[in-house]
Amino acid sequence: MLFTSIANNEKLLGHTDLVESIILDNPAKGIQYRFTISEFRGRSYIGIREWYLDFEGEYAPTNNGVTMPYEMHTTSRLYGALADILSNAEILAEVIEESKNYQLED
Protein backbone atom coordinates (compact mmCIF):
# COMPACT_ATOMS: atom_id res chain seq x y z
CA MET A 1 0.00 0.00 0.00
CA LEU A 2 1.49 3.36 -0.98
CA PHE A 3 0.54 6.47 0.90
CA THR A 4 1.87 9.88 1.74
CA SER A 5 2.97 9.90 5.32
CA ILE A 6 3.79 12.23 8.15
CA ALA A 7 5.87 9.72 10.07
CA ASN A 8 7.70 9.79 13.37
CA ASN A 9 10.99 10.56 11.66
CA GLU A 10 9.60 13.93 10.66
CA LYS A 11 10.58 14.99 14.16
CA LEU A 12 13.99 15.43 12.53
CA LEU A 13 14.21 19.04 11.42
CA GLY A 14 13.97 19.19 7.64
CA HIS A 15 12.81 15.56 7.13
CA THR A 16 9.71 14.75 5.06
CA ASP A 17 8.50 11.32 3.93
CA LEU A 18 7.27 11.70 0.36
CA VAL A 19 6.27 8.08 -0.29
CA GLU A 20 6.07 5.18 2.11
CA SER A 21 5.16 1.56 1.47
CA ILE A 22 4.94 -1.26 4.01
CA ILE A 23 6.75 -4.22 2.47
CA LEU A 24 6.44 -6.58 5.44
CA ASP A 25 4.00 -6.39 8.35
CA ASN A 26 4.29 -8.74 11.33
CA PRO A 27 1.77 -7.55 13.96
CA ALA A 28 2.50 -10.58 16.18
CA LYS A 29 6.08 -9.35 16.62
CA GLY A 30 5.17 -5.66 16.40
CA ILE A 31 7.49 -4.97 13.46
CA GLN A 32 7.18 -3.64 9.95
CA TYR A 33 9.66 -3.11 7.15
CA ARG A 34 9.01 0.02 5.11
CA PHE A 35 10.32 1.31 1.82
CA THR A 36 10.43 5.11 1.72
CA ILE A 37 11.37 7.97 -0.46
CA SER A 38 12.07 10.96 1.72
CA GLU A 39 13.61 14.38 1.68
CA PHE A 40 16.10 15.67 4.22
CA ARG A 41 17.74 19.07 4.02
CA GLY A 42 16.90 19.46 0.35
CA ARG A 43 18.13 16.02 -0.78
CA SER A 44 16.01 12.97 -1.65
CA TYR A 45 16.73 9.49 -0.25
CA ILE A 46 15.54 5.89 -0.67
CA GLY A 47 15.23 3.95 2.55
CA ILE A 48 14.39 0.44 3.68
CA ARG A 49 13.99 0.35 7.43
CA GLU A 50 12.59 -1.77 10.26
CA TRP A 51 9.89 -0.11 12.37
CA TYR A 52 8.68 -1.27 15.81
CA LEU A 53 5.38 -0.88 17.62
CA ASP A 54 5.96 1.40 20.61
CA PHE A 55 4.08 1.43 23.92
CA GLU A 56 1.65 4.05 22.61
CA GLY A 57 0.60 1.78 19.73
CA GLU A 58 2.41 3.81 17.08
CA TYR A 59 5.12 2.50 14.75
CA ALA A 60 8.51 4.19 15.04
CA PRO A 61 11.69 3.73 12.96
CA THR A 62 14.68 1.79 14.27
CA ASN A 63 18.35 2.10 13.35
CA ASN A 64 18.07 -1.21 11.44
CA GLY A 65 17.96 -0.38 7.77
CA VAL A 66 19.63 1.42 4.94
CA THR A 67 19.30 4.85 3.36
CA MET A 68 20.90 5.93 0.11
CA PRO A 69 20.65 8.95 -2.17
CA TYR A 70 17.62 8.88 -4.45
CA GLU A 71 19.41 9.43 -7.74
CA MET A 72 19.23 7.80 -11.16
CA HIS A 73 22.46 5.88 -10.51
CA THR A 74 21.39 4.35 -7.17
CA THR A 75 17.79 3.75 -8.27
CA SER A 76 18.78 1.94 -11.47
CA ARG A 77 21.37 -0.19 -9.62
CA LEU A 78 18.83 -1.09 -6.92
CA TYR A 79 16.29 -2.02 -9.59
CA GLY A 80 18.89 -4.08 -11.46
CA ALA A 81 19.91 -5.93 -8.30
CA LEU A 82 16.29 -6.75 -7.46
CA ALA A 83 15.60 -7.94 -11.02
CA ASP A 84 18.75 -10.10 -10.94
CA ILE A 85 17.82 -11.66 -7.58
CA LEU A 86 14.25 -12.36 -8.69
CA SER A 87 15.29 -13.82 -12.03
CA ASN A 88 17.46 -16.37 -10.22
CA ALA A 89 15.04 -17.05 -7.38
CA GLU A 90 13.31 -20.37 -6.91
CA ILE A 91 10.15 -18.50 -5.93
CA LEU A 92 9.96 -16.36 -9.08
CA ALA A 93 6.64 -17.91 -10.18
CA GLU A 94 5.15 -17.15 -6.76
CA VAL A 95 6.42 -13.56 -6.89
CA ILE A 96 4.86 -13.04 -10.32
CA GLU A 97 1.54 -14.50 -9.16
CA GLU A 98 1.54 -12.37 -6.00
CA SER A 99 2.33 -9.22 -8.01
CA LYS A 100 -0.89 -9.74 -10.00
CA ASN A 101 -2.84 -9.30 -6.76
CA TYR A 102 -0.94 -6.18 -5.71
CA GLN A 103 -2.31 -2.80 -6.75
CA LEU A 104 -0.82 0.56 -5.92
CA GLU A 105 -3.19 2.96 -4.23
CA ASP A 106 -3.17 6.71 -4.79
Q: Which domain CATH number covers 63? A: 2.30.31.10
Tally of domains in the chain: 2
The pLDDT tens digits of the residues spanning 73-96 come to 999 999 999 888 887 777 777 777
pLDDT at 70: 93
pLDDT at 83: 85
pLDDT at 103: 57
Q: Which residues contact 44 (CB under 8 A, 6 or more apart)?
A: 18, 37, 38, 69, 70, 71
Q: How far is it, in rounded angstroms, from Cα 31 to Cα 60?
A: 9
The pLDDT tens digits of the residues spanning 19-51 come to 888 999 999 999 999 999 988 888 899 999 999
Polymer length of the chain: 106
Structural domain span for residue 96: 71-106
Weakest mean pLDDT among 3-17, 25-39, 50-64, 88-102: 3-17
Phi then psi for residue 5, to 5 deg, are -130, 145
